[in-house]
Amino acid sequence: MTDTTTSSKSREPGLFETPFSIGATVLSAVSAIIAVLFFWTGFQGSTLPVVGIELSLLTGTVGSLFALLVAVVALVAAFYMELGFDY
């Protein structure tokens, strides 16, 4: 006799469904915080705390947009990535 019941695991995408999506969500959050740090440092015209590079408004904005791009891509990957071998 075969078992015809379906699996109880859902295949719906989510931010905290798999270890990959959890890691990508954390990367997205950290990258968003770094983006705010870059923009604020560039707006103030001061130096980055660890690196020591002085940022102007333009370089702070460029760094902020790059970090926001990483955050958005990681968030989209966390939500829409298909389940793989760990399913």
Domain that holds residue 74: 19-80
Q: What is the pLDDT of residue 67?
A: 96
The pLDDT tens digits for 39-74 are 998 888 888 777 777 888 898 899 999 999 999 999
The pLDDT tens digits for 5-33 are 555 555 666 778 788 888 999 999 999 99
Give the total number of structural domains in the chain. Answer: 1
Domain for residue 9, yes or no? no
Domain for residue 58, yes or no? yes
Running DSSP on this structure, what letter comes out for residue 17?
S
CB-based contact 86:19 (threshold 8 Å) = yes
